[in-house]
Amino acid sequence: MTGGSTLIVSLPIDWARSVGINQGDEVTLIRGADNSILITTGTKKQEAFSTVIELFPDEKPEDILRLLIANYLVGYDIIKLISREGFSTQDRKWIKDSVRQGLIGLEVVDESGDELILQSLLNYEELSLEKTFQRMARILKSMQKDSITALKDGNVALARDVIQRDNEVDRFYLLIVRQLKAAIGDYKVAKKMGIEHQRECMGYRLIAKSMERIADHAEKIAKDATQMKGIDPKLTAEITEAGDFVLNSFDNVFACLFKKDVKAANKAIAESQEAVELVTAVSERVLKNRHDTINQIHLRSALESLKRMAEYGVDISEMMINMSVKEPERWT
């Protein structure tokens, strides 16, 4: 201690050299939630993370895509694919189309007969996590609404459009996972994304998965809608009412995502549970009434999906309540 109010801290010389700190340079001390101190420096420029994936002759394009997704999620900015036998025209096109349709920000920037180089052009660290969730929520709410409309009106074209939109939700889900992995590994990145405590990343990961599953069930309803004909108008009216109730419950669920408002979350849970009960009652009436066998199967499937969507709304709200609780101070 010097001067009675200042502490001198000696930094390990190996660490100082590895991060490029010299005499007179400034470092930043960040106090963690557990009262630990994080020492950071802005003297070393952040480099792009790159990796090389060597492919074997017997690997299918689907296998390659899984490897690409895994490396994308873990945070690599540049991914080089090398094929020992070269890429066929068909495989090359399939990989490029799949990446373009499934991974936000990842683009093919260079290629040759035996190489494909992909680079993430999106500065996801600067993208607010809340905005990513909001975009994902808007898509899946439109999917839920349109899937019920397609079922009610027998609109096959609209149902197929809903099925296509599921790919968009999957893209945002993978982006969120990539963001959260980066936030867990870097306190400053987490702050830029709007994450107050890194422990919240687990909760947001579970919420994102629940939202992705809601979209999957909307897709299932749309698929059921393509297989049904001549449904009783009274029954479709009941299903539409139940679908509207579930959609309204979603509004409250997603409204409290980042507010950490326990009262609002509890209200959303109550509404979602009421939606589950309403859908269950409609499903029981469908079971008792006589319908064409094909319609009966798909009606029950669609109603089960609608119920699961409401139940995921409960899960999301409960997670928000869990995340709103301040963690205990283990060290004082």
Per-residue pLDDT, 329: 65
What span, in angstroms and rounded, lies between the C-alpha atoms of 299 and 309? 15
Residue 16 confidence (pLDDT) above 80: no
Measured distance CA(253)–CA(137) in Å, rounded: 10
Q: What residue ranges do the domains of the chain occupy?
A: 1-44, 50-120, 126-324
- As a whole number, mean pLDDT of residues 11-36 equals 70
Which of the four pLDDT bands, split at 50, 70 and 90, describes residue 198?
A: confident
Whole-number percent of the chain with pLDDT over 70? 89
For 264-309, write each residue's pLDDT tens digit: 999 999 999 999 999 999 888 887 777 678 888 899 999 999 999 9
Averaged confidence pLDDT in the chain? 86
Across 7-22, average pLDDT: 75
Decide whether 50-120 matches 126-324 in CATH topology: no
Span 50-75, average pLDDT: 89
Has residue 196 got a pLDDT over 70? yes
The pLDDT value given to residue 162: 97
The residue with greater pLDDT, 256 or 118, is 118
Reply yes or no on domain 126-324 having CATH 1.10.10.10: no
CB-count exposure of residue 239 (10 Å: 0-12, 13-18, 19+): buried
pLDDT reported for residue 44: 46
Nearest to 235 by CA among 152, 128, 134, 137: 152
**CATH number of the domain located at residue range(s) 50-120 in this protein:** 3.30.110.20
Q: Are 322 and 238 in contact (CB under 8 A)?
A: no
Nearest alpha-carbon partner for 293 in 238, 228, 215, 243: 228
Asked which of 109-118, 171-180, 226-235 is least confident by mean pLDDT, the reply is 226-235
Least confident segment among 31-45, 144-158, 174-188, 313-327: 31-45
Higher-pLDDT residue of 12 and 265 is 265
